[in-house]
Amino acid sequence: MGALDEEHYNVELRNGVKFGGCVELGFEEEPETLAIVDAVKVLLEGLGEDFNREGLRKTPLRVAKAIREGTRGYKQQAKNIVGGALFPEAGLATQAGHAGGVGGLVIVRDLDLFSYCESCLLPFQIKCHVGYVPSGQRVVGLSKLSRVSEVFAKRLQEPQRLANEICAALQHDIKPTGVAVILQCSHIHFPNFGSALFNLNHENWVKMLVKSGSGVFDDEKADIWTDFLSLLRFRGINVENTRSRGPDDKSWCPSQTFCKMGPPESAMLGAVSSILSSLGEDPLRKELLETPTRFLKWLMIFKHSNLDLKLNGFARSKRDYSLTSNEEHLCYEVNLSFWSQCEHHLLPFHGVVHVGFYSPNGVINPIGKSLLQSIVHFYGFKLQVQERLTRQIAETVTSILGEDVMVVVEANHTCMISRGIEKFGSNTATIAVLGRFSTDPTSRSKFLQMIPDLSHVEG
Amino acid sequence: MGALDEEHYNVELRNGVKFGGCVELGFEEEPETLAIVDAVKVLLEGLGEDFNREGLRKTPLRVAKAIREGTRGYKQQAKNIVGGALFPEAGLATQAGHAGGVGGLVIVRDLDLFSYCESCLLPFQIKCHVGYVPSGQRVVGLSKLSRVSEVFAKRLQEPQRLANEICAALQHDIKPTGVAVILQCSHIHFPNFGSALFNLNHENWVKMLVKSGSGVFDDEKADIWTDFLSLLRFRGINVENTRSRGPDDKSWCPSQTFCKMGPPESAMLGAVSSILSSLGEDPLRKELLETPTRFLKWLMIFKHSNLDLKLNGFARSKRDYSLTSNEEHLCYEVNLSFWSQCEHHLLPFHGVVHVGFYSPNGVINPIGKSLLQSIVHFYGFKLQVQERLTRQIAETVTSILGEDVMVVVEANHTCMISRGIEKFGSNTATIAVLGRFSTDPTSRSKFLQMIPDLSHVEG
């Protein structure tokens, strides 16, 4: 969910929100947009979906706009951005040191960015820290460090190249004594089907830290790097704790080690290639050759029917666990992880599910965590919206565990960060309440108190 | 700094970044823009500044664009936003509970917003938490909760009215069973000149929490509010710790209790009124009547010369503390707070200054914290850029304490959040190094290690 649909743009245009009071030049009719719309329809069909059903009707156009907006950096040039924002600023009067427009490090920390992984086409998040050492008595408007970073982030990328491109552009445009860039990148994990179907990784993110430096930052062992890293530490950014890329790391993208789910259809492969071309990329560029295959590895996880059988096997055991006693007590399983794919944007949303229910006296979880986790995965691994996911899990659990069930789903929606609204820290919760949970606030409250505060371990 | 200047828009337009490939309709020539440009020139003159000097030359146009962009909500209507994004979604099959499109709370947490205080025209930051209970089997695209909130935030506001307007608009447009809005608002403090010139508040922010509810959230004691608040707790949002508005709180804005700095010039008052009119506001609306006076209370703090005398008094004592011994050791004062006003945007930037120097053996701080704080305030309270502030503090400190001085300035720039780039968490650090600090990495490193990590106490 988190629909940023075409209506928004139209409203902005009608109301003259964009500066200059823009007029529409028919973006929806541009051949690149139409090509992506067609490609998305092929992908939806390949997933076994009907792209005319209510929730998917506008999805192809929404996806086309999102991906073009999210890769708008292809149409931008960094030098146009810095141009007007170089300001003369004196350095220290004595020549005994550095500050102001001559030497004296300037750092902007904690810029939130996102980019698209060139290996698998999924968005990844970035905490970007940029610094430079002024020279020639010229300083640059601080926001330009952010804007230049955005130009390169809004393309298909991999972390090291992104850092290098930001660094090179700033070095070229500002002509300072040096530029340093540190990116802390987070890529969604692919579920680990390799070891056991439902034994997924606990970590939701693959993390990677990359550095790039030019001028006085050319040498990674230069003392100025120590200063730069010290200034990150004040913000709680501990660079040592983040894995740096080793010489053997071919790619950080989990698509590269993810096991295949059967050979992808050639029509779907062609559709992804067509999307790459529409963005202005060359699908034959070395790094992109396998991208359609890898994107489909991800997408086909969400094919509608692929977990049916497993669940049916579990569900048959319902009667063994029917509740009879009135000496029941509140039971719960929290932090059941899930992956899902937003049907409005074809972008991941993922997070945790908490299930509360009443159970016969003494039996902590009569069906076991693994069945609950299976139910969660069954409804997660398809094109979904969070509200429906919540309801479906609740309905299934109640068919097994009786009428008193409460389900809380907490999720991060990629479409909330990689679309126009770019709300990086936002997080969505949905609730389903059945039986006594719907009528008894004390039961709800007791269950809600069992859910741990995970805010500090996120990101 | 953080210049989002006119160049950016031109580049975006040239490159067709905005969807539709917009064409410029002469925003810069619109009468509202020109009126604000003229008003800003009057304000700069009133501050004793020359608006033709290099750093200020483009400031009037930059301010005009920023304030019009930051109040674009006046030109938007919420109902156009929700319109296309209502999706049919079934509720629970049994009638024993709520979820999906029928009942079952949906909450989006931690939306970062900013708004302009109608009392003093300074921007304030908002963590927005929005929830609703679906009815009629209709759910709304999650991003719409954010977009509707933005429409009302991008106007002159005060927290409670903002919450009420978001709540009413969502209730009207989605027609759900109920809507709940919680805003955690942070407004920059005004320096407390009342008690003692340099004894400023340690807290950088006035905080206020406001709630608004409709439908099932109408009653503040309803159980559904308990559920809502529990779901905020999981995100580390502790509502109890934030001050709620009491019945006697006329306004949270610190301008209302800030002592006057002498009667404002009528030309400046007229200029601020003209800005209000240009935004489409009525300067005679009750809440805005005193806004020009209050904005000028803030602005006149930054009049160029107002702290000269105090500093000169201190500076004369230089020779008493000249360093002679070679048994000196590293001394430092950290977290000296400062306020400043970005000369490119006429928006606050504020934070802390850390000063390191070498001192005769045994004397921890030969000049005392209060003189250092005075120096920091002297260079803070004017139209500034952070790079220059850093250099000027270093130069002044070195004239008193000898050649080995290092200054680190850490600041949050309002122009980085309330302009186009909207990088809410970003923070800027600048460094000046003199004498041995410029040549000896160990000295730098020793001083940098003394600076505490304050990232966890911010916000």
Instruction: Compute CA B209 distance to the chain's CA centroid, rounded to the nearest angstrom.
Output: 17
- Residue numbers in B near A236 (CB within 8 A): 453, 455-456
- Interface A-B: count of C-beta contacts within 8 A: 428
Q: What is the pLDDT of residues B39-91, one digit of tens each?
A: 999 999 999 899 999 889 999 999 999 899 899 999 888 888 887 788 999 98
pLDDT bin (cut points 50, 70, 90) of residue B304 is low
Report CA A131 to chain centroid distance, whole Å. 25
DSSP of A53-79: SGGGTTHHHHHHHHHHHHTGGGG--HH
pLDDT of residue A364: 56
Q: Across the interface, do A81 and B7 touch by the CB < 8 Å criterion?
A: yes
Question: Is the model's pTM score more than 0.95?
Answer: no
Residue A440: closest CA among chain B residues belongs to which residue? B223
Name the residue in chain A with its Cα closest to that of B7: A84
CA distance B20 to B7: 20
Residue A33 DSSP code? H
Residue B403 burial (10 A CB sphere; 0-12, 13-18, 19+): middle
Question: What distance in Å separates residue B196's CA from the closest CA in chain A?
Answer: 30
Q: How far is B46 from chain A (nearest CA, A)?
A: 24
Q: Which residues pair with B180 in a beta bridge?
A: B131, B213
| pLDDT tens profile A384-416 | 999 999 999 999 999 888 889 999 999 999 888
The answer to whether A22 contacts B20, with C-beta atoms less than 8 Å apart, is yes
Least Cα distance to B418 among B188, B164, B161, B82 occurs for B188
Amino acid present at A427: N
Residues A133-152 have a mean pLDDT of 93
Section A345-363 average pLDDT: 83
pLDDT band at A61 (very low <50, low <70, confident <90, very high): very high
C-alpha–C-alpha distance, residues A83 and B301, integer Å: 32
Same fold for the pair A72-256 and A308-457: yes
- Inter-chain CB proximity B85 and A444 less than 8 Å: no
* Strand pairing category for A329-342 and A383-384: parallel
pLDDT for residue B167 is more than 90: yes
pLDDT at B199: 41
User: What is the structure's pLDDT at B108?
Assistant: 96
- Contact state of A54 with B87 under an 8 Å Cβ cutoff: yes
Please give the single-letter amino acid code of residue A257: T
What count of residues does chain B have?
459
| Inter-chain CB proximity A143 and B1 less than 8 Å | yes
Q: What was the pLDDT predicted at B234?
A: 79
pLDDT score recorded for residue A248: 56
SS3 of residue B226 by DSSP: helix
Say whether B144 and A395 touch across the interface (CB within 8 A). Answer: no
Q: How many CB atoms lie within 10 A of CB A413?
A: 28
Tokens encoding B8: 């950016």
What's the CATH number for B72-254? 3.30.1130.10
Confidence of residue B213 (pLDDT cuts 50, 70, 90): very high
Give, in order, the Cα–Cα distances in Å from B354 to each of A195, B200, B245, B411.
52, 16, 35, 11
The helices-and-strands tally (H runs, E runs) of chain B is 15, 13
pLDDT reading at B182 higher than 60: yes
- Residue A201: what are its φ and ψ, rounded to 5°? -65, 140
Q: Do A96 and B235 touch (CB under 8 A)?
A: no
Residue A407 host element (H or E): strand A405-413
The reported pLDDT for the residue numbered B255 is 86
Contacts of B166 (CB under 8 A, 6+ apart): B128, B130, B148, B149, B152, B181, B212
Q: Domain boundaries in chain B?
A: 27-60+260-300, 72-254, 308-457
Cα–Cα dist B16/B23, whole Å: 8
Q: Which fold has domain A72-256?
A: GTP Cyclohydrolase I, domain 2 (3.30.1130)
d(CA B117, CA A309): 58
Find out whether B116 and B122 touch, Cβ atoms under 8 Å: yes
How close does chain A come to B248, measured CA to CA in Å?
Answer: 32
Q: In this predicted model, which residue has the larger pLDDT, B204 or B324?
A: B204
Ramachandran area for residue B362 (φ above 0: left; ψ -120 to 50: alpha; else beta): left
% of residues, chain A, pLDDT over 90: 54
Q: Select the more confidently predicted residue: A237 or A202.
A: A237
Buried/exposed code over A334-344 (b: 16+ C-beta within 10 A; e: otherwise): eebbbbbbbbb
**Mean predicted lDDT score pLDDT of chain A:** 82
* Contact across the interface for B453 and A54, Cβ inside 8 Å: no
- In degrees and rounded to multiples of 5, residue B53 shows phi and psi of -70, 155
Q: Which segment, A93-102, B211-220, B307-316, is predicted with the most confidence on average? A: B211-220
Instruction: Kindly report the CATH number that applies to the domain delimited by B308-457.
Output: 3.30.1130.10
CA distance, residue A21 to nearest chain B CA (Å): 6
Q: How far is B354 from chain A (nearest CA, A)?
A: 12
Identify whether the C-beta of residue A90 lies closer than 8 Å to the C-beta of residue A381.
no
CA distance B7 to chain A (A): 6
Top residue of A132, A150, A226, A387 to mutate, by most chain B CBs within 10 Å, is A387
Residue A31 · residue B28 · CB < 8 Å? no
Q: Left if phi > 0, otherwise alpha if psi is -120 to 50, otherwise beta: which for B137?
A: left
Name every chain B residue with its beta carbon within 8 A of the beta carbon of A8. Answer: 81, 147
The verdict on a CB contact (< 8 Å) between A4 and B143 is yes
Burial of A432 (0-12, 13-18, 19+ CB in 10 A): buried
Judge: A437–B83 Cβ closer than 8 Å, yes or no: no
